[in-house]
């Protein structure tokens, strides 16, 4: 099937094209996603890697009109949440890793993905590492959830959809919307709206590479592979 510049489920754009085409979309058409797209996006999001493969994300798919309206209010009235046919709340479970550990190890064993020695030791090693994180466990869980969200965003772009990443929400209110109001185990890493772009903004550009990329150490701006010594000074 011929690939269009927009991409589709049957003829998705290559990853670099999806990266270049992606813009943060703030206005969506009301049309629902084409059949198959939503399921595909969810499947691809959860293929993301995570620390110890413990998959701390708890992704809530919000499509119902009344739920979207509540989420819109919890996101300080950002219109993209009201307009998009679907928004995802990337929640995290702080303690969920304890209850999924056995299933994670069993799946890896059945697939022959881990050597027996590693599979035997992993629960002990992971438990020690997770417990040692203390307050930083939330940060680690958020990292994993954002990687999953980015998988979803680039997959959506490759299929002709637009997306809007959002930090602009009241976490307590979003938790209430998804039914976790009083649950201290649950956090919100991101809200993400997805749909067909009504309009795409222009690329706001990025800082020059030498301001944000460095060679070996932060005091050596990156000047491109050809102009850079490969060894540390």
Residues that bind ligand FMN (CB under 6 A): 23-24, 26, 78, 165-168, 201, 204
CB of 143 to ligand FMN, least distance (A): 12
Q: What values do phi and psi take at 186, rounded to 5?
A: -100, 135
Question: Which residue's CB is nearer to ligand FMN, number 50 or number 80?
Answer: 80
Shortest reach from residue 93's CB to ligand FMN, in Å:
20
The nearest distance, CB 68 to ligand FMN, in angstroms, is 16
Which CB, 23 or 29, lies closer to ligand FMN? Answer: 23
Comparing CB distances to ligand FMN, the nearer of 101 and 149 is 149
What are the φ/ψ torsions at residue 46 (nearest 5 degrees)? -85, 5
Shortest Å distance, C-beta 206 to ligand FMN: 8
CB of 194 to ligand FMN, least distance (A): 14
Number of C-beta neighbours around residue 24 at 10 A:
15
Least spacing, CB of residue 17 vs ligand FMN, in Å: 15
Nearer to ligand FMN, 165 or 222 (CB): 165
Q: How far is the CB of 150 from ligand FMN (least distance, A)?
A: 9
Nearer to ligand FMN, 92 or 101 (CB): 92
In the bound state with ligand FMN, the residue whose beta carbon lies nearer, of 101 and 162, is: 162
Closest residue to ligand FMN, based on beta-carbon distance = 168
Residue 77 or 168 having the CB closest to ligand FMN: 168
Among all chains, which residue has been given the structure tokens 């979003």?
174
3-state secondary structure string across the chain: CCCCCCCCCCCCCCHHHHHHHCCECCEECCCCCCCCHHHHHHHHHCCCCCHHHCCCEEEEEECCHHHHHHHHHHCCCCHHHHHCCEEEEEEEECCHHHHHHHHHHHHHHHCCCCCHHHHHHHHHHHHHHHHHHHHHHHHHHHHHHHHHHHHHHHHHHHCCCEEEEECCCCHHHHHHHCCCCCCCCEEEEEEEEEECEEECCCCCCCCCHHHHCECCCCCCECCCHHHCCCCCC
CA distance 60 to 91: 7
């Amino acid at each position: 099937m011929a690939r269009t510049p927009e991409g589709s489920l049957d003829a998705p754009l290559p990853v670099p094209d999806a990266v270049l085409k992606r813009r943060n979309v703030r206005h969506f058409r009301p049309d629902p996603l084409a059949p198959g797209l939503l399921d595909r996006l969810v499947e691809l999001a959860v293929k993301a890697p995570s620390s110890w493969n413990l998959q701390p994300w708890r992704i809530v798919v919000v499509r119902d009109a009344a739920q979207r309206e509540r989420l819109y209010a919890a996101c300080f009235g950002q219109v993209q949440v009201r307009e998009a046919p679907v928004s995802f709340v990337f929640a995290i479970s702080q303690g969920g890793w304890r209850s999924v550990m056995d299933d994670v190890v069993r799946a890896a064993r059945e697939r022959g993905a881990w050597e027996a020695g590693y599979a035997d030791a992993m629960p002990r090693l992971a438990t020690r590492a997770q417990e040692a994180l203390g307050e930083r466990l939330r940060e680690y869980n958020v990292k994993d959830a954002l990687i999953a969200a980015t998988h979803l965003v680039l997959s959506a772009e490759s299929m002709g959809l637009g997306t809007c990443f959002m930090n602009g929400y009241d976490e307590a209110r979003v938790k209430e919307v998804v039914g976790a109001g009083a649950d201290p185990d649950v956090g919100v890493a991101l809200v993400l709206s997805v749909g067909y772009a009504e309009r795409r903004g222009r690329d706001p550009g990025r800082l020059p590479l030498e301001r944000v990329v460095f060679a070996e150490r932060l005091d050596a701006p990156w000047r491109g592979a050809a102009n850079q010594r490969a060894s540390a000074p």
